[in-house]
Amino acid sequence: MRYSLATLLAIAATSQALSFHDIRDFGSRVLQEAGRGPRAPQGPPPGVPAPPPNGVPRAPPGNGEIGNCPAVWQQVAKELSTSMVSDGQCNDMARGAIRAAFHDCGTWDMTQGTTGGCDGSLYLAKEYTREENRGLQDIVPKIGALAEKYKVGVADMIQFAGASAVKLCPGGPTVRTMVGRKDSSTPNPEGNLPNVHAPGDDLVALFNKKGISAVELAALVGAHTASKQNLVDPAKAGAPQDTTPGKWDVEFYSQTLDKTAPFTFPSDQQISMQRESGPAFKSFARNQFGWTAAFSGAMTHLSLLGVASPEKLTDCTTSLPGGSRRRDVKAAPINGRAV
């Protein structure tokens, strides 16, 4: 049986035995073997600096502390389930939560070591009022209020809400979700989030500095399957990035590539054409299972940026609204796993 690039990436991304550093290397090798990427020695792909010993966090070994997740997170999941879905589809609150999860972590790069990143400062330091976080002024205080209501960490609530939003979108995968981060009210640096008008090479370089590969970037940007733009072109406020913004599907990839999307961010177009991210972007357009599995691994990686001791976190994946990772795989069509 011959597996597609997206499926091979998915196998890597969902393996509990692999660290995210391993996933990054695996993705590079797959691209090389497919003739879609430059040959390089084993190790990080071209342009990706080796992370410092205390730099990019790896996934906690094994299954973490599954079974020890505080019961309060099930209550949180129940409340989120009623607020993030409208008429059977994910709504604007879900979209905002997904974006907030990225923006709390995405300010981090490897020069910061185990400080900053996913630390709740998006709310606690009022980073949501920055120009680069426009559009989050409504959702972030709501997430902060939920953390206060349930007496849990703000950083954890931001990531749990984002993972819940992904799961609640029809077709959305289960993202491995950890709790136990340390909150901080110290502002993270400005200017470390991607610019919607940046060239593809600049975007890949920006994420490489965070320890996130071009393949992971191609997977993460697929979250725009559920997004709507309001600020890039105010004249087209509310325009989605594909024709099914209430569902978690690969229409974003295919419609970006064939230029039929209602609205496409310039940065998404750039990522689809960039030599390192483009092959994965195109592969995901043909494989829902491959993309959702790769996205899950990449989002968990993102959710650990700046976390000092990820092995000490508690795995609360089973508290997410509905389903499990195994159920995601069983639900995938056979033709989504192999070609």
Task: Give 158-182 pLDDT, tens digit per residue.
Answer: 999 999 999 999 999 999 999 999 9
**With bands split at pLDDT 50, 70 and 90, how would you rate the model's confidence at 149?**
very high
**With bands split at pLDDT 50, 70 and 90, how would you rate the model's confidence at 156?**
very high
| CB-count burial class (<10 Å; 0-12, 13-18, 19+) for 191 | exposed
Q: What percent of the chain has pLDDT over 70?
A: 75
Average pLDDT over residues 185-193: 96
Pairing between β-strand 85-86 and β-strand 178-179 as defined by DSSP bridges: unpaired
Task: Give 198-244 pLDDT, tens digit per residue.
Answer: 999 999 999 999 999 999 999 999 999 999 999 999 999 999 999 99
Q: Is 21 a catalytic residue?
A: no
Q: What domains are defined for the chain?
A: 5-49+199-297 (1.10.420.10), 72-190+299-329 (1.10.520.10)
pLDDT number for residue 323: 52
How many Cα atoms are found within 13 Å in the side-chain-facing hemisphere of 112?
24
pLDDT number for residue 331: 52
pLDDT number for residue 333: 53
Average pLDDT over residues 284-306: 97
Average pLDDT, the chain: 84
Do the annotations mark residue 249 as ligand-binding?
Answer: yes
Average pLDDT over residues 85-114: 97
Is residue 121 a contact partner of residue 61, using CB atoms and an 8 Å limit?
A: no
46 pLDDT more than 50: no
Q: Where are the alpha helices (DSSP H) in the chain?
A: 5-14, 20-33, 72-83, 92-105, 121-124, 139-150, 154-168, 200-208, 214-220, 251-257, 266-273, 278-284, 288-302, 325-331
Task: Give 16-38 pLDDT, tens digit per residue.
Answer: 333 434 434 433 443 343 333 33
pLDDT number for residue 123: 99
pLDDT number for residue 256: 98
43 secondary structure, DSSP code: S
- Residue 89, SS3 per DSSP: strand
**With bands split at pLDDT 50, 70 and 90, how would you rate the model's confidence at 322?**
confident
Most confident of 295-299, 322-326, 332-336: 295-299
Average pLDDT over residues 114-137: 97
pLDDT number for residue 77: 98
Do the annotations mark residue 117 as ligand-binding?
Answer: yes
277 pLDDT more than 90: yes
3 pLDDT more than 50: no
Distance CA 79, CA 317 (A): 16
76 pLDDT more than 50: yes
Lowest mean pLDDT among 64-68, 71-75, 255-259, 284-288: 64-68
Do the annotations mark residue 233 as ligand-binding?
Answer: no
Q: Which two tokens stand for residue 311?
A: 């092995």
Do the annotations mark residue 104 as ligand-binding?
Answer: yes
Average pLDDT over residues 252-274: 98
Do the annotations mark residue 242 as ligand-binding?
Answer: yes
335 pLDDT more than 70: no
Report pTM.
0.81
122 pLDDT more than 90: yes
Q: Backbone phi, then psi, for 89, in 5-degree steps? A: -130, 155
The one catalytic residue in 21, 103, 197, 301 is: 103
Do the annotations mark residue 119 as ligand-binding?
Answer: yes
